[in-house]
Structure 1
Amino acid sequence: MNKYELTVVVSANVEDEVRVNTVEQVKELVARFGGVISNVEDCGKKRLAYEIQHMKDGFYYFIKFDADAAAPAEIESRIRIMDNVIRFLIVKEEA
């Protein structure tokens, strides 16, 4: 298994409950494709470097997980179509 870090930026224009549900959906996706989450870090609301879809702020989450090599591609394809996620990135951590 490889170690990965998933960064998710959730829209600041949604209710708190919707934001929490969006993060839960992302965590369920990781688990569905064989990932084992080791840490979820909520960094709160931060200013974006540039406007994305007329938004200037977003809520940042960092999710560390272990998974097989095929899992990140599957997770990315599902996150890409989520409405409230404005940006995401999965990177493999060095051993």
Structure 2
Amino acid sequence: MKKYEVMFIVRANLEQEAIKAEIANVNTIFANNDSKVLECKEWGLRELAYEIEHARKGYYVWMLVEATPLAVSEFNRIAGYNENIIRHIVVADGK
């Protein structure tokens, strides 16, 4: 399995419990696909560089995961249609 850096931005207008639930959902996506979340850092509420879907702020989350290509594909698929995740990116860790 390869290591990947995963970054996603959750809508800022959600309750704190809903934000935690979105983070837990992402953890579950990787766990259900034989992958591990090695590190998870919540960067918190930050101003966006530009407006995304009428939002000026977002809740940033960064993860380091050891994942299969299937898990990364599944995360991209689910994050793409999840209305609470306004942006996401997955980058292979080059270390």
TM-score (norm 1): 0.94
Shift of 1:3: 0.3
Q: Give the 3-state SS of the residue equivalent to 2:83 in structure 1.
A: coil
CA RMSD across the alignment: 1.0
After superposition, where does 1:78-93 map in structure 2 within 5 Å? 78-93=78-93
**Aligned residues between the structures:** 95
Unaligned runs of 5+ in 1: none
Aligned equivalent of 1:22: 22
Structure 1 ranges of 4+ moved more than 4 A: none
| Aligned position for 1:67 | 67
Question: Matched residues in 2 for 1:7 and 1:22: separation?
Answer: 13
SS of equivalent to 1:49: strand
On the 8 A contact 1:4/1:64 being kept in 2, the answer is yes
Q: What TM-score, normalized to structure 2?
A: 0.94
Helix, strand or coil at the partner of 2:46: strand
Unmatched runs of 5 consecutive residues or more in structure 2: none
Q: How far apart are 1:42 and its partner, in Å? A: 0.6
Q: Does 1:12 align with 2:29?
A: no
- 1:34: which partner in 2? 34
Identical amino acids, percent of aligned pairs: 28
Cα displacement (A) at 1:70: 3.0
Distance 1:71 1:14 in 2: 26
Q: Are the aligned partners of 1:33 and 1:75 in contact in 2 as well (CA < 8 Å)?
A: no
User: Structure 1 counterpart of 2:30, which letter?
Assistant: V
Task: Tell me if structure 2 keeps the 8 A contact 1:39–1:65.
Answer: yes
- Give how far 1:40 is off: 0.3
